[in-house]
Amino acid sequence: MPGDGAKARAIKEADLDIAIIGAGFSGMYMLHLARDVLHLNARVFEAADGVGGTWYWNRYPGARCDSESWYYSYSFSSELEQEWVWSSRYPAQPEILKYLNHVADRFELRSDMQFNTRIINADFDDHDNTWTLAAESGEQVTTRFVVAATGCLSSRNTPDFKGLDGFDGDWYHTGAWPHEGVDFTGKRVGLIGTGSTGIQATPVIAAEADHLTIFQRTPNFSIPARNAPLSTEEAAEIKANYAEIRAKCKSSDNGFPFEVTERLAKDFSAEERDAIFTELWDLGGFRLLASSFADLTIDESSNESASDFVRAKIRGMVNDPDVAEMLLPTDHPYGTKRPPIDTDYYDAYNRDDVTLVDVRRAPIVEITKTGLRTEDGEYELDALVFATGFDAMTGALLNMNVTGSGGRKLGDAWEAGPRTYLGLQIAGFPNLFTVTGPGSPSVLTNMPVAIEQHVEWIADCIEYLQNNGLTRIEAKDDAQEAWVDHVREVADTTLFPKANSWYVGANVPGKSRVFMPYVGGLTLYREKCNEVAANQYEGFAVSN
């Protein structure tokens, strides 16, 4: 009505329909769908000076994908998968970054990407139903929708060790590795952390440095990758079977095209179990976890048989029995921390120029001018590498200083741990979508599969809103609470919460202990998301 319009503040047109934060796997595909399929005015904001997300930042020695190349890739374009040539089973970081750059070029994404732009503030305006994003540079932009494609492992965790500022040598975090590389020749290098990253970096740095000292707090169960080049015949066979490979990934619980097993460890003798584990160990990678027994992450005795198997393998690979003993994981069931995949990790401990230090028994006290001091010794070092991981799943979102409807701060809403509806939205934060957010299968899957599912769901949702003249969508509190309860209940039926992993935030001092990913599997999850959409976005409040 004209009278009302005169009194009320006019609705402001937003600068953008959709702002996408992050130019990794998620942000790139989101831009493609938003701009080229939905024809929205879309722009990506990216802190780095190029695309790639995790593969842009993690350039440390030995960085390589733990999933096989032919399914750790986009499935949305059959032309893309047919034309791209992977060199090996597990491609190294530069090759994945090259692939993502190729995708950016092929789909002409760069023209709608703004690099060197870190978003440090996001404020929702209830009147206009728009977000205002502010960049570090001071630039501001308004947008109707925000998609946080900020990655699950992008906010670095650097422990606050006393004395680091006074260290005379150079130090690096693996998640922000210098682009020009680092030459460790002739150097005494210290490496803190034995997660997937430290395990990949160890043999490569060991081969280059004068001496490598590894400071280990928790030993890990690592499985050999068995990387190898892909022959022309293998590559051709993969390409010929892509439809089947992708279908397997999409219909599996973890996004991998592995054979799914129904067998339970208790139904097999110790010898039979050993034969099954051996066959999968020889194949390498995640198969031991994914295809050995269906109850591996549910049943303690089933898990113990796998844990014992891997521990025996470690003993067999490390010559010095004392070092082998230090490398044996005993504090968590196999697979309840993200299992590393390696190339010659345990072999590295057979070198004379590699030393393992147990910093659980004698913790790190400080970084000195010339090295590192633990409770029972001093280590002279020229360089220090922090392979200490990330403030996973929540760090990047919280760092953006998000303020939602009615001035509600994300930091307050998540004080006791992340709460989301389907890992896609947060009650009180309308029109903000998260890709592979906490509460979704995300990090328990082959990521590109989970990412494509989320991005497609978000695109369909925005299309629905457009078609129905709706401008606002917001997760309802009760739907969110029910989902958070379900995520916790499912996790509690498994062995996962037993481990002090980054899945529960245990690696970041002071972080609330909540099992963040959804362990119920991609299949159920996909069905639930589809059902919600089919029921006019059940559990969401939609309005104009």
Pick the closer one to ligand NAP by CB: 27 or 91: 91
Following CA atoms 449, 528, 434, 175 in sequence, which dihedral angle do they give, to the nearest 10 degrees? -40
Phi-psi bin for 343: left (phi > 0), alpha (psi -120 to 50), beta?
beta
One of 28, 364, 465, 519 touching ligand NAP (CB under 6 A): 364
Query: Binding segment for ligand NAP among 8-16, 188-196, 428-436, 489-497 (CB under 6 A)?
Result: 188-196
Phi-psi bin for 431: left (phi > 0), alpha (psi -120 to 50), beta?
left
One of 151, 198, 423, 539 touching ligand NAP (CB under 6 A): 198
> Using the rule CB under 6 A, is 428 a contact of ligand NAP?
no
> Using the rule CB under 6 A, is 373 a contact of ligand NAP?
no
Task: For the chain, give the longest Cα–Cα distance.
Answer: 85
One of 42, 47, 65, 141 touching ligand NAP (CB under 6 A): 65
Single out the residue of 27, 10, 19 nearest to residue 131, CA to CA. 19
Pick the closer one to ligand NAP by CB: 155 or 305: 155
387 close to 177: Cβ distance less than 8 angstroms: no
Query: Binding segment for ligand NAP among 62-70, 301-309, 311-319, 468-476 (CB under 6 A)?
Result: 62-70
Shortest Cβ 23–ligand NAP spacing (Å): 19
Say how far apart CA 206 and CA 296 lie, in whole Å: 33
Per-residue string for binding with ligand NAP, 210-249, x by CB under 6 A? -------xx-------------------------------
Give strand ranges (E) for 89-154: 113-114, 119-125, 130-135, 140-148
**Residue with smallest beta-carbon separation from ligand NAP:** 195
> Using the rule CB under 6 A, is 132 a contact of ligand NAP?
no
Pick the closer one to ligand NAP by CB: 144 or 337: 337
> Using the rule CB under 6 A, is 66 a contact of ligand NAP?
yes
Following CA atoms 503, 509, 511, 513 in sequence, which dihedral angle do they give, to the nearest 10 degrees? 50
Q: Is the dihedral of CA 494, 500, 506, 508 positive or negative?
A: negative
437 close to 424: Cβ distance less than 8 angstroms: yes
Query: Binding segment for ligand NAP among 186-194, 265-273, 476-484, 535-543 (CB under 6 A)?
Result: 186-194
Beta carbons within 8 Å of 175's beta carbon, 6+ residues apart? 57, 58, 60, 153, 154, 156, 197, 390
One of 433, 502, 515, 540 touching ligand NAP (CB under 6 A): 502
Pick the closer one to ligand NAP by CB: 367 or 461: 367
At 157, is the secondary structure helix, strand, or coil?
A: coil
Residues that bind ligand NAP (CB under 6 A): 64-66, 153, 159, 192-198, 200, 217-218, 338, 359, 364, 387-390, 443, 502, 507
